């Protein structure tokens, strides 16, 4: 199982999960910068789950966010992938050394509606990192980012900002994601809840 | 100050805050159903702040969510309105008796991309209530809702779901909201932070 997960991860890092027209998209990684254990557990978990549900390929969280890692992995096992969550003790270096475009979501940044087209073009050319702050984002991140982007210039929620940004980046295509290796699959209902066992896994798929 | 706030509130309840073409839109109210004090404080606060930032006119939270009420009122005083937050000890009755269209956001519901157009038409005709669950939403809410809507059928975040739903409902117009009576105004920057004192208030405005 771990080997399989690794192989999947290697594959989708090259290709990205969502396609843009005829072209394969590049990798989109979300970085949760800053985490206070206890106080931030649910917010960091929601950042991770939102990244997964709305089309990012992986999320990196701080070393001290182990509880969020467990929850996101559990959801991915139950509802499918591919999606990776990783921990890092040096997020600053990860951001500085990223070979691709860096977007930092902040209420002080440029309006999302003005920059989303440029970011989308950049994603056609190479991978994208989206940095989502906790409370204290150092000035170096603002300086290093290729785009500081505000989903409104109002204080609200890093989860809400990430969600709107991803939906606009992918222009809604992320809503049609097909999940692989899910134990459970939710069937949309006008009223009530319907959950069925997930699709057969990819190995069996190739025999069908 | 309280009287003024009340008058403003009465006005925007009739007209709605965002306009649709030449037509005034109707009121959009978000209801946070369910709240566990302590554990849910930040999520409920983020629901309230997201509702405010992304174009809703008001939010109603449970009686036991007093801390979130304080935070949202504080942000509204500092960054402007109009926006109202209210508490209710009978959210079920509030939803049942609402005279308008009720949308319940749930991962079990119909895809947002399939129903958003219909909901938008309904909002042209009358007010809209958006119910955002905590963990336990009783079946009556599913039954009473005019639309059960999923922003994906994946588990992620009620804050993320609300954000994407509002951005799609208003088709991005909420990003251009002009805030009234703000103490602080953030000026979008490509790098760094710029905050200036808010616009003069509406009384002085009318002299200008």
Measured from the Cβ of residue B197, the count of other Cβ atoms closer than 10 Å reads 9
Confidence class of residue B10 from pLDDT cuts 50, 70 and 90? very low
What is residue A7's predicted lDDT score, i.e. its pLDDT?
Answer: 39
Which residues in chain B are contacts of A110 at CB distance < 8 A?
188-190
What is residue A5's predicted lDDT score, i.e. its pLDDT?
Answer: 35
* A151 pLDDT more than 90: yes
The pTM assigned to this predicted structure is: 0.89
Q: How many CB pairs under 8 A join A and B?
A: 172
φ/ψ of residue B31, rounded to 5 = -115, 120
* A115 pLDDT more than 70: yes
How many residues in total does chain B contain? 208
**H or E element: which one contains A79?**
helix A66-79
Please give the Cα distance from A141 to B192 (Å, whole number).
10
Please give the Cα distance from A147 to A143 (Å, whole number).
9
Does B111 contact A at CB distance below 8 Å?
Answer: yes
Please give the Cα distance from B76 to B40 (Å, whole number).
21
Please give the Cα distance from A163 to B47 (Å, whole number).
13
- The DSSP code sequence of B124-184 is HHS-EEEEEE-S---HHHHHH-SEEEESSSS---HHHHHHHHHHHHTTTGGGGPPPBS-SE
Of the candidates B79, B110, B151, the beta carbon closest to that of A155 is on: B79
Judged by CB atoms closer than 8 Å, whether chains meet at B108 and A192 is answered as yes
* Interface probe, candidates B132, B164, B189, chain A, greatest A C-beta count within 10 A: B164
Least confident of A39-53, B14-28, B115-129: B14-28
The Cα diameter of chain A in Å comes to 53
Judged by DSSP in three states, A119 sits in: helix
For residue A18, the distance in angstroms to the closest alpha carbon of chain B comes to 15
Tokens representing residue A160 in the block: 């809400």
Judged by DSSP in three states, A19 sits in: strand
Residues B12-22 have pLDDT tens digits of 444 577 765 54
B150 contacts B106 by C-beta, under 8 angstroms: yes
State ipTM: 0.89
Closest CA to B161 of A176, A157, A169: A157
Residue with structure tokens 């966010």? A65
Closest CA to A108 of B79, B59, B180, B199: B79
Which residues in chain B are contacts of A55 at CB distance < 8 A?
none
Closest CA to B112 of B173, B165, B50, B172: B165
For residue A9, the distance in angstroms to the closest alpha carbon of chain B comes to 20
* Interface probe, candidates B82, B188, B189, B198, chain A, greatest A C-beta count within 10 A: B188
Question: Which parts of B27-149 fold into alpha helices (H)?
Answer: 41-53, 66-79, 91-96, 112-125, 139-144
More confident of the two residues A21 and A39? A39
For β-strands B19-20 and A58-62, DSSP reports them as unpaired
Does A136 contact B at CB distance below 8 Å?
Answer: no
């Amino acid at each position: 199982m771990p080997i399989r997960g690794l192989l999947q991860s290697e594959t989708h890092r090259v290709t990205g999960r969502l396609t843009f027209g005829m072209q394969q998209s590049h990798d989109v990684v979300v970085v949760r910068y800053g985490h206070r254990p206890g106080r931030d557990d649910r917010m960091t978990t929601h950042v991770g789950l939102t990244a997964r549900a709305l089309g990012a390929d992986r999320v990196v969280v701080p070393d001290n966010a182990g509880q969020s890692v467990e929850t996101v992995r559990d959801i991915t096992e139950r509802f499918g992938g591919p999606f990776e969550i990783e921990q890092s003790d040096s997020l600053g270096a990860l951001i500085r050394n990223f070979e691709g475009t860096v977007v930092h979501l902040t209420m002080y940044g440029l309006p999302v509606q003005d920059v989303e087209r440029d970011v989308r073009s950049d994603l056609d050319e190479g991978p994208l990192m989206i940095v989502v702050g906790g409370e204290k984002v150092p000035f170096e991140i603002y300086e290093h980012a290729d785009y500081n982007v505000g989903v409104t210039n109002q204080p609200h929620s890093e989860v809400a900002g990430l969600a709107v940004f991803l939906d606009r980046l992918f222009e809604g295509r992320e809503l049609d994601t097909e999940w692989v290796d899910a134990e459970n699959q939710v069937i949309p209902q006008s009223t009530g809840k319907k959950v069925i066992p997930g699709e057969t896994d990819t190995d069996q798929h190739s025999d069908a």
